[in-house]
Structures are given as structure tokens and as C-alpha cells.
Structure 1
Amino acid sequence: MSPRAPEIRQLEEVAPVQLFDFSQKVLFSPKERGEGFIKMAVTTGKRGARSVPHAHPRDEVTLTLKGQAVLRANGREYHMTEGTALRLPPGVVHEVEVLSDEWVVVAAYCDECQLCVPLKGRESE
């Protein structure tokens, strides 16, 4: 396939990987391809699933497809329900907790962030 040609992936054909308490299906990843585009993934979590506090070096954008979660950043809570789009500016330390039985979100962000390493000096609530 030419690098300038569109790519199509079917969500049901993508194997899930574990990310914190979540199951994630990575649709496109620069890390896997060795290219410079952003990562796009569909992430699913059950009630109580949480991330650790983390930040991204560039913007992150999300769209909640199902359920409800709360994003905590800068001492505030941002509720994400079906149809909620969210943009996080670069460097904003945040964490997510699922409030509904299941939460499904599409996210696009820089693949070079260290999601699996808690930031020093911040503890998960």
C-alpha cells in the first residue's frame, strides 16, 4: 500500500490490549508503524476502572460513545457522557474513572507519552 493511500481498519478485527484497568483497541499507532501520525484507539472500561495521573506532550481529543466517566484535572471534575467531546491541552495532568457499568471512548493523542508510569509526586485518588 502506498504511504499516501487511505487505510481502513475494522474495529472487530483489532485485538485488545490492557491499559491500566481498561481494554484498548489501537486502530492506528505511529509507534507500530514508525511514522509521525497520532495514535487513535477505542478504550473500554468497567465501573471503577481508573487510570493513573498522566499527561501527554501534545493535545488529546476524546469522544465518549457509551456510558459515563469523570476526568479529573487541575482540581476539577469533567463528566463525560455519550456524545461528549473533550480536548486536553498538552501537559495537563489528568486521570479518568469510570462511573457507569461500561464506558467506551475514542481517543486520539501522541503515542510518545508515558501512560503507564505515574508522575512523581502525584498519587491516584
Structure 2
Amino acid sequence: MSQRLPELRQLEQVEPIQLYDFSQKVLFSPKERGEGFIKLSVTTGKKGARSVPHAHPRDEVTLTLKGEAVLRAGGQEYFMTEGSALRLPPGVVHEVEVLSDEWVVVAAYCDECQLCVPLKGKGKE
């Protein structure tokens, strides 16, 4: 049996991918590794960047590192500012819009198969 060892990734060495209006650097991904751990990413958006309404089948937790964004869910608005952490329970439909010049957030979630699947008839197609 092979020994499992820690993995170390440097954020500046990770190539970004496009996710809606955002740039995302995926540090660890179950989809890429074929393993069952959560996805960890750093996502950056410029003022006005938006997601489409979507939900995750498991919890999502975020920590805003820089800037401000608003998360809309259940008819309410949640303002995410530097240092604020947010937990979304499974199945909560939500969307995000960047309010500041730049917003940087660390997110951890476990839903590679259904990542941000748009709800039919909502948001950008």
C-alpha cells in the first residue's frame, strides 16, 4: 500500500479558469484527483460580475479576502466584506454580484458533478 502524503500548491502557480463572470483558481478538486475531498478555490470578480442562480447539493463555505459582494438567497441580501465568512446549506438557491472594484473569495464545497448548474429559465444561458 502506497503512503499518502500532503500536497502543497502555490496560488500564483495555478492557472485560472473562467466561471461565469469570475476568474477561479482551483487548488484542489475531487474531479481532477478522482478522490472524495472537497473542492477548494480562490475566485476573483470585478465590479458587476455575477453568477447565475444556482444551488449546491452539499454545504458551501466562503471567506471574503478582499472587496465586497452581495449574495442573494431566499429573498434576502447578505453582504460579504473582507473577513466575513458565509455558510450556505445544501440546496439553497443563490446568486452573487460583485459590488467593489474587485472581490476575492476563498470557497470550499463538494459538488463537482453539479457545480453551479443554472436553474432553467434563470440567469445567463
Does the TM-score normalized on the shorter chain lie above 0.5? yes
Gaps of 5+ in 1: none
Paired position in structure 1 for 2:69: 69
Paired position in structure 1 for 2:48: 48
Using the alignment, how far apart are the partners of 1:106 and 1:112 within structure 2? 20
Alignment CA distance shift 1:102-1:35 (3 Å): same
User: What is the Cα deviation at residue 3 of structure 1?
Assistant: 5.9
**What's the TM-score, normalizing by structure 2?**
0.92
Using the alignment, how far apart are the partners of 2:31 and 2:77 within structure 1? 31
Alignment CA distance shift 1:54-1:3 (3 Å): farther
Matched, 1:28 2:32: no
Percent sequence identity over matched residues?
81
Task: Please give the per-residue CA displacement for 1:57-111, whole angstroms capped at 9, x wherever unaligned.
Answer: 0000000000000000000000000000000000000000000000000000012
- The residue type equivalent to 1:112 in the other structure is C
**What's the TM-score, normalizing by structure 1?**
0.92
Using the alignment, how far apart are the partners of 2:122 and 2:88 within structure 1? 18
User: What is the Cα deviation at residue 114 of structure 1?
Assistant: 3.4
Paired position in structure 1 for 2:98: 98
Using the alignment, how far apart are the partners of 1:19 and 1:71 within structure 2? 16
Using the alignment, how far apart are the partners of 1:114 and 1:98 within structure 2? 20
Using the alignment, how far apart are the partners of 1:121 and 1:86 within structure 2? 27
Gaps of 5+ in 2: none
The CA RMSD over aligned residues, in Å, is 1.4
Using the alignment, how far apart are the partners of 1:3 and 1:122 within structure 2? 46
User: What is the Cα deviation at residue 6 of structure 1?
Assistant: 1.1
User: What is the Cα deviation at residue 121 of structure 1?
Assistant: 4.6
Using the alignment, how far apart are the partners of 2:98 and 2:83 within structure 1? 15
Q: Which consecutive aligned stretches of 4+ in structure 1 deviate over 3 angstroms post-superposition?
A: 121-124
User: What is the Cα deviation at residue 112 of structure 1?
Assistant: 2.5
